[in-house]
Structure 1
Amino acid sequence: MKLLISTMLLLIGLTSCTSQSEKKELNDESLTELELIERGRYLVSSIGCDDCHSPKMMTDQGLIPDPATRFAGHIEGDLTAKVNNDALADWALFNLSFTAAVGPWGISYAGNISSDDSGIGTWTEEQFVMAMREGQFKGLAGTRKLLPPMPWQNYANLSDEDLKAMYTYLKSTKPIRNVVPPPVSPEELFK
């Protein structure tokens, strides 16, 4: 019985400590723009935005994001080769740069999230939040949903402050002019 009570008190104590530290982080609006950018850089790097939104280059350590096209998304004109539709019965596939994915939804191309106008350069913070929270294309109401593999459902759980930091960081990145091709529908893909 004493063990049960001790365990319950420990859990209550840990929960209250966690809640207080989360509240402190979520209510801290005193970050400078530089601190906001650094927080955003940390989040974007940790969450793996480069995995899909940055074209890759081969090195001795394997594929890494190409610094010349970081956050440019799928490069304009680099269309995916013919897809083996038989493989799609059991697989979702990526191109070698990991900027295009194909599956039952068709072909999706990673968007340009650099600060260029062809990326998110003209987006408002509200558009960025809507894209991340509601999966709306370009963060605009009434547009199509973001396609797989974009895990916007996971990012919807991020705090307002974290999304603001990510937005602020991405808006500070090198602008890269790149118009990403539109997705290919399943009907077009499987004809």
Structure 2
Amino acid sequence: MVRMNTIGQSSGRSRVEWTVVPSGIGPLLLAATDQGLVRVVFHADGRVRDGALDALGDRLGAELVESASGRLAEPISALSAYFAGWLREFALPLDWTLCTGFNRQVLRELATGVSYGTVVGYGDLAGRVGRPEAAQAVGAAMGANPLPVVVPCHRVVESGGGLGGFGGGLETKRRLLALEGVLPEPLF
């Protein structure tokens, strides 16, 4: 795999641009192909960032280029506006390459059918995609979401009112739901 710090000569492989940006929930790694945003990674410092980049390069067979402009300018701006409380709906081009089948179906329904400031149960989301018995599979799809925040898996909760799991950690999920007004802000 080739990881470049600046845009250089093309190796003939597809190119994925990436950067790490600060956010209200810690550093996020963003990666984009020519199709759109392909990956968002929580807590993207050091080993987490490097591991995510290695996995992404291997999975896509792509040249990775660090860049905070070009393909990533719009996602960076949108996420900044979201964390500032100004953006309620992402309208970004997305590259769905990293998810297939049932997971893709569930994540697309989540992205288009569960709006800012609302939540949905795992079973309810399973029903929306025609598989009411697949609540656990919906949970697995949330855990495999390559585009968290933008495809808002933090909005999926347990039917009994519990938060459920979250790949970015439950505190991150709480903070995202508080940002959207679903949960109160922590007192301290």
TM-score (norm 1): 0.23
Write 1 or 2 for the structure with the bigger share of helix: 1
Higher strand share: 2
TM-score, normalised to structure 2, is 0.23
**Higher gyration radius (CA):** 1
